[in-house]
Structures are given as C-alpha cells and as structure tokens.
Structure 1
Amino acid sequence: MIGTVDAFVAAAVDAGVRYAVLLSSPAAYEVGEFDRPIGQIHRAVERAVPDSGLAHTVLYPSWLATNTRRDWAGQIRAGGRVAIAFADAPVTPIHPDDIAEVAAHLLTHETFRSRMQILSGPQSMRMRDAVALIGDVLGADVTVDDVTREQALDLDQGRIPRPVLESLLDVAAATIGQTAPVNNTVERITGHPARTLRSWLEAHRHDFQNG
C-alpha cells in the first residue's frame, strides 16, 4: 500500500469502531527491509493506527501463497518456465484463508488479542521447490531459469518500482542457505493446522494453465 490511511482510520474512530486488525508485513521489522521502501510504507501505516487511539492487533504473515500467481503464473502459462533470481531463497508460504480466519477471530474474540501476531505457513521451502510443487499440481514440468540480480531487474520492465524490487532481491540473496521461520500461530488461534501451499495451488490450478 502506498499513501496515508489517516482519513480511513479517523473515519473508523468516528464511526465507533471498537477494534481493528491491520495486515502488515514482516518487512516492517526484518533486517534489510525495515528501513527500505517496503518497510517504510508499512511502518507509516502502523504508526497511524495507534496514533488514532484505535485498539488493534497487527498481523505479520509470511510469504503469501498468492505470490506464486502474481509473480509466476503468466510465465508458466506462456512457456512452462519461470525466471527467478536467487531461487534458493527460502519462503514459508501461507494460505490467505488462514490469514482471514485469524483476522476474523481477533475481531470477534478477545482471547488472542495482542499488539501483534506473526503468522506463517506450515513449511519452509526454497522458491524453486514452490515452482516444482506447481508443476506437480499441474502434472507438468515447470522449469526454473536462474537469472542474475541484474537480469531480474531488466526482466521486470518496471512492473515493480525499482527500489522495491532491489530490496526484495537483496533480501532473497541474504537468506540463501537459511530456513524460513515457521510457527504455530495459525493453529493456536484457529484451532486447525495451517493450510499448505499445495492446497491453495490445487484450488487455483486454472490460474497457471492455458485455456
């Protein structure tokens, strides 16, 4: 999100909203991101909510399962290949329904309300493993074309603002060889284990297929 939420928050307070859940990003606090464009945007929103006096919880979800569609679906439909810089960077894909359920619980129950809740999917995997999983769901080979940082910047063709993309690439490069954090927050709040990336892909396989 780019811009200010001050007017929205003020309207919520004026309307008598008693509690809010803010969907933020780990970029707001992670090393290499909190002081760069993505982190700065999220931190500005996070400041506006408490400054209003509105009671709230901030959610920090891990890498979204929907990122596979946003970043790779077009390439897969076009040629069954995905160009990725730092494909060995780890992610912990989280299902959007789990984020929604956590938010709904916080809005309707006081049990787990706190300043923040960090949410993750059930498994750390490399980006190239996520691509392989897409291929498995589709029943087809999906190839990862490893590209350099500079090639990734050129291939994007301005789709993502360059400072934002540079930050994303730098963070990915710095995490290679590590394991992405996994926690049980989704299960603790919703009462069921976090959904897998496969479950989201199976429900949305058509987004990666031609026709």
Structure 2
Amino acid sequence: MTVLITGARGKVGRAVTSRLHGTGVPVRAAGAHPAELTVPAGVEIAELVLDRPETFPAALDGVRQVFLYPQPAGIGAFTEAARAAGVEHVVLLSSSSVLAPGAETDPLAAHSLRVEQALAASGLPCTFLRADAFASNAFGWARPIGQGLPVQLPYPDAHLAPVHPEDIADIAAEALTGTALRGRAVTLTGGQSLTFREQLAVLSEVLDRGITVETVTHAEAEQQMSRFMPAPMAGSLLALWAAACAGPAPIAETTRTLLGRPERTFRQWAAENAAAFAAR
C-alpha cells in the first residue's frame, strides 16, 4: 500500500516523506531527476514527469495513495494512469488562490485550479489542501537583509496569515494516513494575521538587528519582480497584496483546528531559519 510523493525535492514533499517513512508507511519519492532526491534510508525513489506518460507505470506500481504537487501539464493522462494502477486517494497541495474571483484566468490561481478540476473530473477520491501564503516566502528578503540593505515593498501593510510549511506537512501526513480529511477541500493558514511590515519586525527581533522597510511604487515593484517571474504572475501577486491592505487576513484551518495541536508561528519559522538571513 505504497504512498507516492511527487515533488519530493520540495520542502513539504520532503517533510511528508520523512513523516510517513518514520511511521512505517511504505513511501516512494518521485521527481523529474530522481538521482538528486535526498530521502531517508529505505525510501524508494522513482522518476516521474507529468508530461512524460512513459514514466507513470513504474512510479505508480503498487501505489494506493498519492501526494501530488500541482502541475497542470499532463495531469489528465496522469489521473487516467493512476486510476488504472489502482490508486484510491490523492492529496493535492493546492492554493487558496483558487477561491478568488476570476481564478480561472488568474496566472497564480489557474495553475492549481486546473489540477483540481482534472482530479474532480477523474472520479478519484481526493483531498485538496489549499495552502495560503507560506512563511517561507520570507526567504525572498534574505539577500537584502543579509547585505544590510532596505527591504523594498510596494504594499508593506498587506495582511497575510503565513503558514509554516511543517504544519502543511503534518496535515498532509494526516490526510494520507487517516480518514477525517478524505474527500475534503480545506484552506490552510497560520494562526495569526501579520503584515509584511510586522513579519519584518519579527525577523528584526529574532536577528537582533534593524531592518529598514522602503516603500516602492506598484510600477517599480512590477519591474523588479518581472526579472524573476513572468510579468502576468508578478501583476497577479501585486494585485493580491494591494487587496490585502484592506484589513486583517482571515484565519482558516490550522493544525489547531484540524489536528488539535497549536500551529507553528511565524516567529518560530524565523528562529528556525535565522541563518538564511545572516550578514554576508
């Protein structure tokens, strides 16, 4: 009754792999470059590329559950192969952006939404974990903080409820080993609404050094962000942050509500990852 973990190089995928393996669940970690995967001893590895159906049979052999990263390319063929292989349940790491108006055409939301729709159409029993902003998005500030430069933000007072990736992994592991989450779509957040400015203040306290916030214009931010991502995606993120200035971010499901244990905080994430922001 093997569980297939796709995107096993990612932070959440690695954590889910470790959790399941640690409790004796047979796990197969998969990725486009299996030789580059780092997995615990005893975990199988497999090649899986969603737009290369020839990689499906070996990856899915004996698999009954799948932890799936959202990749629209080839998802229809993958769901067909999963059904044929006897897969009984898919846990998708989706995004809360699929709930926003206009998600079908939004560059951020459409990616996950197409996968959700394909899974729903497949008839496979599914659990959708619609994660909100990851606490680890703060890694984007590591370079300026490490170099003692201002962190430039177009909307420093945008409110988010950042969720710790380890909380997502806990909930995913529960979805794969229990029954309470099967067939559900849950939106995952952290337990506290924090603006970008407040997140940086937490980092400043954890690092015990000042961090300057510099407000830039929407256009300046779009130009900067378009160096690292497609322009439509940058525009979508900026629109999201602009709207988030309206007030505190809603708190949805957390490990507290789903698993009965306190959610990890952004401060905890900052302390665990302080080395990434070290002076350089």
TM over 0.5: yes
Is residue 108 of structure 2 the alignment partner of residue 38 of structure 1? yes
Q: What is the CA–CA distance in structure 1 between the aligned matches of 2:142 and 2:152, rounded to whole Å?
A: 11
Deviates more, 1:86-95 or 1:175-184: 175-184
Deviates more, 1:141-150 or 1:154-163: 154-163
Q: Which runs of 4+ in 1 moved over 3 A?
A: 31-35
1:194 corresponding residue in structure 2: 263
Greater relative contact order (CA < 8 Å, ≥ 6 in sequence): 1
1:101 corresponding residue in structure 2: 170
Match of 1:153 among 217, 222, 242: 222
Q: What is the CA–CA distance in structure 1 between the aligned matches of 2:78 and 2:268, rounded to whole Å?
A: 34
Report the residue type matching 1:42 in the other structure: S
Aligned partner of residue 66 in structure 1, secondary structure: helix
Identical amino acids, percent of aligned pairs: 35
Q: What is the CA–CA distance in structure 1 between the aligned matches of 2:164 and 2:273, rounded to whole Å?
A: 12
1:119 corresponding residue in structure 2: 188
2:60 corresponding residue in structure 1: none
Report the residue type matching 2:91 in the other structure: V
| Mapping of residues 1-16 of structure 1, within 5 Å | 3-4=72-73, 5-16=75-86
Alpha-carbon offset, residue 99 of structure 1: 0.5
Change (3 A) 1:3 1:158: farther
Alpha-carbon offset, residue 10 of structure 1: 3.1
Q: What is the CA–CA distance in structure 1 between the aligned matches of 2:271 and 2:149, rounded to whole Å?
A: 17
RMSD of Structure 2 on Structure 1 (CA): 1.8
Aligned partner of residue 24 in structure 1, secondary structure: strand
Q: Is the 8 A contact 1:24 1:42 kept in 2?
A: yes
Is residue 258 of structure 2 the alignment partner of residue 167 of structure 1? no
Q: Which has the larger radius of gyration?
A: 2
Unpaired segments ≥5 residues, structure 1: none
Change (3 A) 1:8 1:78: farther
Q: What is the CA–CA distance in structure 1 between the aligned matches of 2:279 and 2:177, rounded to whole Å?
A: 41
Q: What is the CA–CA distance in structure 1 between the aligned matches of 2:246 and 2:184, rounded to whole Å?
A: 31
Q: What is the CA–CA distance in structure 1 between the aligned matches of 2:164 and 2:96, rounded to whole Å?
A: 16
Q: Is the 8 A contact 2:226 2:234 kept in 1?
A: no
Unpaired segments ≥5 residues, structure 2: 1-69
TM-score under structure 2 length normalisation: 0.70
Deviates more, 1:84-93 or 1:51-60: 51-60
Deviates more, 1:82-91 or 1:149-158: 149-158
2:88 corresponding residue in structure 1: 18
Match of 1:27 among 88, 93, 97: 97
Q: What is the CA–CA distance in structure 2 between the aligned matches of 1:190 and 1:139, rounded to whole Å?
A: 33
Deviations 1:151-192 (A, max 9, x none): 101222520111011011112112213110113442132220
2:159 corresponding residue in structure 1: 90
Alpha-carbon offset, residue 141 of structure 1: 0.5
Change (3 A) 1:34 1:141: farther
Q: What is the CA–CA distance in structure 2 between the aligned matches of 1:2 and 1:98, rounded to whole Å?
A: 22
Alpha-carbon offset, residue 33 of structure 1: 4.8
